[in-house]
Chain A
Amino acid sequence: MAMAALPISEAASVALSPALERAASRLASIVGPRAILSRPSELVTYSADGLPFYRKRPALAVFPETREQLIAVVRALAEERVPFVPRGAGTGLSGGALAENDAVVIGLNRLRRIISIDPENRRAVVEPGAVNAGLTRAASEYGLHYAPDPSSQTACTIGGNVAENAGGPHCLKYGVTLNHVIALTVILPDGELVSLGSTEGERDGYDLLGAFVGSEGCFGVAVDVTVRLVKNPESVRTLLADYTAIVDAARAVSAIIASGVVPAAMEMMDGPTIRAVEASIYAAGYPVDADAVLLVELDGLAAGLEEDVALVERLCREAGARSVRVARDEAERARLWQGRKKAFGAMGRISPDLVVQDAVVPRTRLPDVLAEIHRIAQETGVLVCNVFHAGDGNLHPNIAYDARNPEATARVHHAMRAIMNACIAAGGTITGEHGVGLDKLDYMPLVFTDDTLDAMCRLRDVFDPERRANPGKVVPVRSCREWRMAPNTRRGELPA
């Protein structure tokens, strides 16, 4: 794992380079002096995202409020050849929205309008800073919702979701962000405005929209996003199964998938997570003495749903559930979900600092991998809280610790690396939905060959040959062969 940036004080306030000086004055004239931050004390906040283990202070932060301002900002930065990092709500969990001190943060949180909702075609067009849950709230009057529901949905932005190809509990049935973005207007790092995808149905040719979604801010900035809206299900049932052994819960997951039922969501929380949530204002009534709970949601047409509920309940019990309860009403259902979705934020009750991982393993390997995580936790003496999308095999081990203790910190990082290695050894991969960002750069060579990483670099060159958009993220720079040979080459100067 890469080491964190220095504490702010040591990254003393550096004088801006001439290019940045020029950029700063041009940006100020575009957005107005109150929408640009340049003093170190005001940039502290923009030195971390949702994974504050990493801190890197940007040179400037700029907040366009209109589409025209955003386009002008990117064009000015292109002309001055200044690198930039787009940032939504800063809830990302891979350090992806952090900028080095020669780069400019483009804060998209003021571009938050829902431009239009088209209930007939079940579509919405939003600005990149529109908040995920706000879109669902706006769509609800038409009986529609936006399906990808990351746990941070009350805060995170659609633009950020596009960058990370965000998932969420309900992606088990409904698919991830990629499956819900129809079209994008993108400003490329060189200032060119392009349309990706189409509202008129599939177009021939390569799927450039698909390449952009999940590109972690390295391919440009979305100016507007056209998304699919999904009809609210006629009927929803949410079950909570309670286990005294987490491996039993993991077996239930495989049994449910094998039965052919496709739950809308299937989530697991282990004992330490349950207890953190139950101590919070989001207490959901989870059994605090359980080793794990499984939260299973079934939805669809009312006809046949009760049969599925009965089947899932039986499978949960057969795997060893102590009890299975079905939410009686919408209020109880909402409470069960709030507890799950706020679990990450509740970890602060345990210790002041937190690292969270995001790995995917084959579902059938969940029991072994969970047992291995438990063993690693015991061996390294750290507290691992597991809260994850069990139906997708998408694990989120959280380790709460106190960074003021360097010895404990070292053990935490050792444990994290061991957990990631165990996931990879089980046939898994290093991110399900949080992205690579900064945090997982070092893991990339473990799952991809040099040739694959090189191919990724070449794909990036199509969108951003100067590599000014979110530099230093996703693909380790040393993996890009030509980059390795000539680290400061610019477009047109690449070695043959």
Chain B
Amino acid sequence: MTAAVGPTCALPDTPLAAAVPGIMTCVHCGFCLQACPTYLALGDENDSPRGRILLMRSLVEGTLGIDDPDVHTHIDQCLGCRGCETACPSGVPYGHLLEATRATIALARPLPLVARLILRTFERPHLLAAMLAGARLLRATRLPRLLGRLPGRLGFAMAMLAATEGRVPHRPYTRRGTGARGATAVLRGCVMRGLYAETNRATERTLRANDYEVVDVAGQQCCGALHAHAGDLEGARRLARVNIAAFERSALSFIAVNAAGCGAMMKEYGHLLASDPLWAERAAAVSAKVRDATELLADAGPARGASLPLAITYDAPCHLLHAQRLVRPPLAVLGAIPDLEIVPLTDTDQCCGAAGIYNLLEPEVSGLVLTPKLANISATGAELVATGNPGCQMQIGAGMLRTRTGRGTVHPIDLLDASYSRAERSPT
């Protein structure tokens, strides 16, 4: 481009200034367009990776101001699914560019109130625990199932809560391996611990059954992914330091994460704290131990369970497929379940529209992105959708509830756990 970035950046000493080399990697080829869910939903290149990178470049060049409302709109409307990264031949680090842009915009314009409330709550463990306990109580009344059919944001939120109800029975079993694969801590998570506690138990059981030694690590907090994606990089760093300190206290081989978004964040702690001399090395050391729980299970085989004659489909969470670049492990987990039929899902590489708290902040676009996902799910005829991220489970589950499609969502590990449980009860 001839509209050259001069020797000085229009936004010196901002997160965006540090992202300039990444911005300059884009050659504007457009190969990302069809990989972008918001471009497909909205049909405007301003809502495509290439268009957003050009907006970022314009900010750096000073041809658009950091207070430009159009820039805010299109950067806000990005899901951060990073589907463009697995389409980009030049390797543009889009996720980092987006976080840097949002962090820079946040200097000029505070985050929306809803976002701030959610992020601050996730930073306060007691408050968060109380909120999630309240949510569990509400879920137990089964009211969210009914209220989830109401139109609008409240109805959708209720449907999301209803979607967290367990879809497969979890019966504890005693099967255990040797523990020889190493000491492994399971990230408790926020939503996972609060609303998907059974999946956390299932993760521990299946890891044990596959020769991992599961240890409990105290002092964990939210991983900070929601903060980083919203542009609150300082908030994300605060939480990262707490978690790094907590996981450092145990001699661990692995940190198993069963929420794809959290795993992607923790694998990037090294990048997040790269310019913090006190923490950079420690962050990189912790990041190096982080694995998606299905990675660990797949590395171990995993051991086969008992027959589970169900027809399901699998949807790849973006932060597993695009951010962590993991394709095979979740399928290996499902593949260890005899008689489980996995019906291929069209466009499984496209985002479902959950994207952390995006579905609460941008409900309209989120809904547009969810619509084709639900149509593709419906076309499989499968009753259950397996996907390894709580946000996707809730988003897709809510959509299924509201459109009366199938029975809902499960984590792939829920199914493996049920299969192991059956094996112990009725040995085949």
A and B associate in one complex: yes
Please list the residues of chain A having a beta carbon within 8 angstroms of any beta carbon in chain B: 3-9, 37, 39, 41-42, 44-46, 48-53, 55, 63, 65, 89-91, 107, 109-110, 131, 133-134, 152, 154-156, 277, 279-282, 342-349, 352-354, 403-404, 406, 409
The reply to whether the CB of B202 lies closer than 8 angstroms to some CB of chain A is no
Whether the Cβ atoms of B64 and A7 lie closer than 8 Å is no
Closest 8 pairs (CB-CB, A-B): A348-B90, A345-B89, A352-B24, A7-B3, A346-B89, A345-B29, A45-B51, A4-B2
Distance A316 CA – B270 CA, assembled complex (angstroms): 48
Bound-complex Cα distance A107 to B43 (A) = 9
The 19 listed contacts between A and B (C-beta, < 8 Å) are A3-B2, A4-B3, A8-B64, A37-B44, A39-B70, A45-B50, A55-B2, A89-B30, A90-B30, A152-B29, A152-B30, A155-B29, A281-B86, A345-B29, A347-B27, A348-B27, A348-B90, A353-B27, A403-B1
In the complex, B403 has a CB within 8 A of chain A: no
* Cross-chain contact B31 with A345 (CB below 8 angstroms): yes
Q: Evaluate whether A48 and B24 lie within 8 angstroms (CB atoms) in the complex, with A4-B2, A41-B68, A110-B43 already known.
A: no
Q: Is B351 interfacial (CB-CB < 8 Å)? A: no
Residue from A44, A49, A152, A279 whose CB has the most chain B CB atoms within 10 Å = A44
CB-contact partner of A91 in B29, B44, B74, B86, under 8 A: B29
Minimal Cβ-Cβ distance residue in A for B31: A345
Q: Which of A7, A131, A154, A345 has the most CB of B within 10 A?
A: A345
CA–CA, A7 and B43, complex, Å: 26
CB-contacts of B22-52 with A (<8 A): 24-34, 43-46, 48, 50-51
Closest approach, in angstroms, between the C-beta of A405 and any C-beta of chain B?
A: 8
Cα distance, A155 to B84, chains bound together (Å)? 12
Residues of B within 8 A of A42 (CB): 46, 70, 74
A6 vs B6: C-alpha distance when bound (angstroms): 14
Minimum C-beta distance from B46 to chain A (A): 5
The interface residues of chain A lying within 8 Å CB-to-CB of B58 are: 8, 41, 44
A345-B55 in contact (CB<8A): no
Q: B residues near A, CB below 8 A?
A: 1-7, 24-34, 43-46, 48, 50-51, 54-55, 58, 61-64, 68, 70-71, 74, 86-92
Q: B88 and A345: CB pair below 8 A?
A: yes
Contacts A41-B71, A48-B54, A55-B1 hold; do A342 and B89 have CB atoms under 8 A apart?
Answer: yes
Chain A residues whose C-beta falls within 8 Å of the C-beta of B51 in the assembled complex: 45
Additional pairs, 8, CB under 8 Å, beyond known A44-B58, A131-B34: A8-B61, A41-B70, A50-B28, A65-B43, A279-B91, A344-B89, A347-B90, A403-B1
CA distance A63 to B24 in the complex (A): 29
A8 contacts B27, C-beta separation under 8 Å: no
Q: Is the CB of B25 within 8 A of A348?
A: yes
Residue of B nearest to A93 (CB): B29
A155 and B89 contact, CB distance less than 8 A: no
Contact, CB under 8 Å: A352 / B25 = yes
- Taking a contact as CB atoms under 8 Å apart, the answer to whether A154 and B90 are in contact is no
From A7, A110, A342, A353, contact of B61 by CB (8 A): A7
Shortest distance from the beta carbon of B380 to any chain A beta carbon, whole Å: 16
- A228, chain B: closest CB distance, angstroms: 23
Q: How far is the CB of A288 from chain B (nearest CB, A)?
A: 16
Which residues on the B side are within 8 Å of A347 (C-beta)? Answer: 27, 90
Contact of A44 among B31, B32, B64, B92 (CB under 8 A): B64
Q: How far apart are the CA atoms of A8 and B7 in the complex, in Å? A: 18
> How far in angstroms is the closest Cβ of chain B from A407?
12
Contact indicator A403/B2 (Cβ below 8 Å): yes
| Cross-chain contact A55 with B26 (CB below 8 angstroms) | no
Min CB gap B220→A, angstroms? 33
Chain B residues positioned under 8 Å from A152 (CB to CB): 29-31
Complex-state Cα separation, A50 to B30, whole angstroms? 7
> How far is A272 from B84 in the complex, measured between Cα atoms in Å?
24
A281 to B31, CA, bound (A): 13
Pick from B1, B25, B61, B92: contact of A52, CB under 8 Å: B1
Q: Closest residue to A346 on the B side, CB-wise?
A: B89
Asked whether, in the complex, the Cβ of B24 is within 8 Å of the Cβ of A282, the reply is no
Contact A45 B86 (CB under 8 A): no
Task: Take A9-B62, A44-B58, A345-B90 as given contacts and tell me if A50 and B29 are in contact as well, using a CB distance cutoff of 8 Å.
Answer: yes
Beyond A9-B62, A63-B44, A89-B33, is A55–B3 a contact (Cβ under 8 Å)?
Answer: yes
Bound complex: CA of A349 vs CA of B68, how far in Å?
30
Q: How far is the CA of A343 from the CA of B32 in the complex (A)?
A: 14
CB pair A280–B64 under 8 Å, yes or no, is no
Q: Which residues of A contact B34 (CB under 8 A)?
A: 131, 133-134, 154-155
CB neighbours (8 Å) of B88 from chain A are: 281, 345
With beta carbons under 8 angstroms apart, the residue of B29, B55, B62, B87 that contacts A344 is B29
Contacts of A110 in B (CB 8 A): 43
Question: Chain B: which residue is nearest A409 at the CB level?
Answer: B2
Q: How far is the CA of A436 from the CA of B26 in the complex (A)?
A: 24
Q: How far is the CB of B345 from chain A (nearest CB, A)?
A: 15
A348-B26 contact given A42-B70, A277-B89, A280-B89, CB 8 Å threshold = yes
- In the assembled complex, how far is the CB of residue B30 from the closest CB belonging to chain A, in whole angstroms? 4
Which residues from B are CB-within-8-Å of A352?
24-25
CB-CB under 8 A from B26, the residues of chain A are: 348
Q: Shortest Cβ distance from A383 into chain B, in angstroms?
A: 14
Cα(A139)–Cα(B46), bound, Å: 30
With A348-B25, A403-B2 in contact, is A155–B33 under 8 Å at CB? yes
| A45-B54, A342-B89 given; A8·B3 CB < 8 A | yes
Q: Kindly list chain B residues whose C-beta atoms are within 8 Å of the C-beta of A39.
A: 70
Q: Kindly provide the distance from the CB of B72 to the nearest chain A CB, expressed in whole angstroms.
A: 10
Query: What A residues does B4 contact at CB under 8 A?
Result: 7, 403-404, 406
Interchain CB contact under 8 A, A343 and B1: no
Task: Write the chain B residue with the least CB distance to A110.
Answer: B43
Return chain B residues, CB-CB under 8 Å to A6.
Answer: 3
Minimum Cβ distance to chain A for residue B77 (Å): 12
Give Cα A281 to B199, complex, Å.
Answer: 33
The CA-CA distance from A90 to B29 in the complex, in Å, is 9
Contact of B27 with A354 in the complex, beta carbons under 8 Å: yes
Is the beta-carbon distance between B43 and A154 smaller than 8 angstroms?
no
**CB atoms of A44 and B55 under 8 A apart:** yes
Q: Which of B4, B26, B30, B64 has the most CB of A within 10 A?
A: B30
Bound Cα distance from A459 to B394, whole angstroms? 59
How far, in angstroms, from A409 to B2 measured CA to CA in the complex? 9
Contacting residues, chain A, for B5 (C-beta < 8 A): 404
Chain A residues whose CB sits within 8 angstroms of the CB of B89 once the complex forms:
277, 280-282, 342-346, 348
Chain A residues, Cβ within 8 Å of B27: 52, 344-345, 347-348, 353-354
Q: Which residues of chain A have C-beta atoms less than 8 A from B48's C-beta? A: 45
Q: Which residues of B contact A281 (CB under 8 A)?
A: 86, 88-89, 91
A435 to chain B, nearest CB (A): 16
How long is the Cα–Cα vector from A279 to B25 in the complex, in angstroms?
13
Instruction: Name the CB-closest residue of B to A35.
Output: B43
Most chain B CB neighbours (cut-off 10 Å) among A49, A65, A110, A281: A281
Contacts of A48 in B (CB 8 A): 1, 28, 54
Most buried by B among A131, A156, A281, A352: A352
Query: Which residues does chain B contribute within 8 Å of A279, judged by CB atoms?
Result: 91
In the complex, A44→B2 CA distance in Å? 14
Q: Report chain B residues within 8 Å CB of A348.
A: 24-27, 89-92
Query: In angstroms, how far is the closest chain A Cβ from the Cβ of B421?
Result: 36
**Residues of chain A within 8 A of B31, CB atoms compared:** 91, 152, 154-155, 342, 345
Q: Which residue of B lies closest to A398 (CB)?
A: B27
List the B side residues contacting A90 at CB < 8 Å: 30, 45
Tell me which residues across on chain B come within 8 A of A131, comparing CB atoms.
34
